[in-house]
Amino acid sequence: MSGEDCSTREQTLTAIQRDIRLGMQIAWADTIDLWRLNNTRRQQTLYGLFGLLMLPVGLVLLQQGYAIGIETRDGTDFPIVAAGRNLILPGLLVFAVIAGLSAAQSLARDSVRQLLLTSAPTRAIVIGKLLYLLGTWLAPLVFFFVPVSAYAVGAQSPLFPVALVVAGIPLLLLAMLTGLLLAYLLWLAIERLRLPDAVRRLVTASLSIGIFGAAVGAGLFSGQPTDAAEQVPTGEPVLFIGWYADLLFVGSPMAEPVGLQSALAAVFVLLGIPAVFAVKMRVSPVFWYATPGEKRKEGDQSSEHVTPEKGRPIPDTIRASNTIGRNSGLTARSRTLRLAMSYVRTAVRRPDQYVYLLYYLFLVMALLLPLVLESPSSLPPALGVGLVMLGLWFAGSLFCLNPLGTEGAMLSQLVLSETPGHTFAHARLLAGSALGFVLVVSGTLLFAATGPFTTPALAALGVVLLTGVVITSASFALGIGAAFPKFETAEVFGNVETLVPSVVAALVHGALTLFLGFMAVGLTVLIAFPDSPASPLQRTVGLGVFVLVLIAIADGSRRYAIVRLSQYGAEAVRVDGLFAIYTVSLLASGSLILGQVTGLTAALVVGFDRPVELLLPMLFVFEYLGLILVAFGFLWVTRRGLSYLDLGWPSMREIGIIIAGVGASFAIWATALVLIEGLGLPVSDHALFNAEDADPRLLLALIPLFLLVNGPVEELLYRNIVQKYLHEWFSTIPAIAIASIAFALFHIPAYLTAGFSALAVTLTLLFAISCLWGVIYVRTESLFVVSAIHGLYNALLVGGLYLSLVL
């Protein structure tokens, strides 16, 4: 080799090293930007809440992974590796399509525009963006790696997680690069066809759906089924890339000897990465520079305008207020209806602005397509289910999921226009609800006509309840979108700029909407199914509670979105008294849910086989940890701080009030018992303190916990947080009454040991005692006083029960 060749090679290697270092800096800068965009108090609180809710799931996966590892330490009869050879291809195809969409958004011209103005080479830009994308995709896979590590410990296979990471990352990188390259080539090919704008946008918005469906279908049909597993293909893989799966199981008890076919598959993957990257390097500049832009007529002011903050052009699709006044007839009488119609017309004219909705279609297809391929006769009812799911999601995600991001870009119009902010919110709500209603009704009727076990009563009630969920979906999308707005435009697939909603808002909205949809379907079956085991009273109560939940979520979200839009730019907003009641309901239900989550987490850690006198007190303490988290989370999000707490040592006068308060509490309790016995009313016992089944040792262990944990924590939340917050909106008596209602309802799970009548009597007693404690708190403004009264009252009650059992 000549000296000149050596010098050229050294220069090439030096340039590659330089580009890699620069790419790492770009990836790190993007990571910092992502952190800054998700660094608000609302987002941090939501992430923390999600982490707490997922903690029991993670522990269960950890335990199950360890148990499966022990069971399969000596191998298993199921051909897992053979199944992996056949399933690796559909997994890669699906990941390539989804990763290609995500990468195309991250590597579109808008996201690299500033980098293109620098001296950064194309290779460094692509490396940096790909490293950033790979990191964002690998981060969620940590949840998958946790049970895998537990399995490796149980199976005594320490090399298995290492092999999985070493072999898995190149595979994911190749799939991402391939999907990105195909996405670029696809959109460039569409541009070269010189199609009319409307046709090009429709083709752009629909091709990904077909590609995704083809990828899933091709992957499912690529394997060769055998008699060993009817539902999972375990024969020889059709394509040799399937043999790469052998490398993913190296070091595990299921591992098979790595043969020549697996080695060739590994060589293909390792050589495919630089090959695809090289082609990507040549395509990227063409995509960034050579793609024709939108042609605008000179002097046309409707094509784009500029945001006040960043001077970034925003498409005219979000300038809906320009269309106000152009209609006649019925729509001319209602600004809300005119504005809603303008949103609908914009969606029809520019469907490419809503390309992010493809992710919902991907999820529906991934859930329903395997069922249809296995049983083609199930296509009509599966299509009905898919339409219902899309209707519930699209009701909020199409028009409502980013109200501040879209309307905020036209802030000057909002300020100068006679149209108030609530009109924009209601117009989006109307447009989204109408779309969702059409899809849900169509899907329900299709399922009722072709599906099993359907009756006219089931279909009618299902339409009614699902319509309520549709309205709630649109309203909640307004609220969560206003809480987590996104103002940055993203250039997706060609030269289309769109305001993609926040991922956090989309995930929370999608999860809650799907949960409410399942609840609506379950309640429909429970009420209208001929053989339902529920009594008429249970059906009525269940329906009433579900309707109240929908109303609270919908109306509270709508009010919050309107205020956020009207008070645009403010970090903290003030809504109204009714919204304060919704907030209190959220705090009460959230404390109950988090209490169960923290208690379950503790039980999973220590095990359910512990002695009851040890397990129950521990669960008792950890359940109240959920209430503490809710209380301090409220102080954190609302920026009230610890100064909001009425802390301090009691004076001699307050000690006297404590003694009198305990006496007054027992007086109410005794009077209530006399009335209950005199009227012959039923009463519910606490789940832990049934007089017939109570364990004296358990009662003795819980007495100090009632004094030191139960009383102080409940008063912290329901008096110092809830009642004090309500006092900011209401006078003293309503604030005490509403806080006491929330306090009583919080105890429903503990006293749900008898019928509804007994529960109602017990909750009325709790409400009366809570009102007394609320009055004392208003008079003393001391958390210590009401905590001591509450704790002493409960401790003395339990102590009396203990003495009655042992004497």
Q: Per-residue confidence at 740, pLDDT binned at 50, 70, 90? A: very high
Residues 372-392: tens digit of each pLDDT:
766 777 788 888 888 999 999
Residue 8 lies in a domain: no
368 token code pair: 């329903």
Q: 281 with 317, same domain?
A: no
In angstroms, the CA 375 to CA 379 distance is 8
- Selected residue with higher pLDDT from 267 and 14: 267
Q: Describe the crossing of helices 159-192 and 80-106 by its angle, rounded to 10 degrees.
A: 50
Q: 557 with 679, same domain?
A: no
Q: 199 with 254, same domain?
A: yes
What pLDDT was estimated at residue 355?
Answer: 62
Mean pLDDT of 556-568: 81
Mean pLDDT of 136-150: 80
In angstroms, the CA 91 to CA 75 distance is 25
Residue 74 lies in a domain: yes
Q: 455 with 486, same domain?
A: yes
- Selected residue with higher pLDDT from 72 and 715: 715
Q: 561 with 483, same domain?
A: yes
What is the DSSP secondary-structure string of 406-417?
HHGGGHHHHHHS
Q: Per-residue confidence at 41, pLDDT binned at 50, 70, 90? A: confident
> What average pLDDT does the structure give for the chain?
78
How many CB atoms are located within 10 Å of the residue 390 CB? 21
Q: Which of 30-39, 52-61, 279-288, 292-301 has the highest mean pLDDT?
A: 52-61
Full 3-state SS string of 473-527: HHHHHHHHHHHCCCCCCEEECCCEEECCCCHHHHHHHHHHHHHHHHHHHHHHHHH
What pLDDT was estimated at residue 423?
Answer: 83
For residue 314, the SS3 value is strand
Q: 681 with 735, same domain?
A: yes
Residue 610 lies in a domain: no
What pLDDT was estimated at residue 329?
Answer: 46
At 668, which amino acid appears? Answer: I
In angstroms, the CA 99 to CA 493 distance is 13
Residue 704 lies in a domain: yes
Least confident of 294-298, 432-436, 512-516: 294-298
pLDDT at 684 over 50: yes
DSSP H or E stretch at residue 323: none
Residue among 720, 737, 718 nearest 640 (CA): 720
What is the DSSP secondary-structure string of 13-52?
HHHHHHHHHHHHHHHHHHHHHHHHHT-SHHHHHHHHHHHH
* Domain end residue (candidates: 559, 575, 591): 575
What pLDDT was estimated at residue 322?
Answer: 40
Q: Per-residue confidence at 554, pLDDT binned at 50, 70, 90? A: very high
pLDDT at 679 over 80: yes
Residue among 492, 502, 671 nearest 101 (CA): 492
Residue among 420, 426, 729, 467 nearest 555 (CA): 426
The residue count for the chain: 807
- Selected residue with higher pLDDT from 110 and 29: 29
* Domain end residue (candidates: 575, 595, 614): 575
Q: 567 with 678, same domain?
A: no
Evaluate if pTM is beyond 0.85: no
Q: Per-residue confidence at 536, pLDDT binned at 50, 70, 90? A: confident
Q: 284 with 324, same domain?
A: no
Q: 415 with 554, same domain?
A: yes
- Selected residue with higher pLDDT from 122 and 250: 250
Query: For residue 738, what are the domain limits?
Result: 638-806
What pLDDT was estimated at residue 491?
Answer: 46
What pLDDT was estimated at residue 229?
Answer: 44
Residue 486 lies in a domain: yes
Q: Which residues contact 57 (CB under 8 A, 6 or more apart)?
A: none
Residue among 436, 445, 502, 501 nearest 472 (CA): 436
What pLDDT was estimated at residue 409?
Answer: 47
Least confident of 191-195, 211-215, 309-313, 717-721: 309-313
Q: 713 with 800, same domain?
A: yes
Q: 352 with 253, same domain?
A: no
18 token code pair: 């330089």
Residue 599 lies in a domain: no
Domain count, the chain: 3
Residue 595 lies in a domain: no
* Domain end residue (candidates: 258, 290, 322): 290
pLDDT at 576 over 90: no
Q: Which residues contact 420 (CB under 8 A, 6 or more apart)?
A: 566
Q: Per-residue confidence at 569, pLDDT binned at 50, 70, 90? A: low
Q: 160 with 224, same domain?
A: yes
What pLDDT was estimated at residue 716?
Answer: 94
Q: Which of 41-45, 142-146, 295-299, 630-634 has the highest mean pLDDT?
A: 630-634
Residue 86 lies in a domain: yes
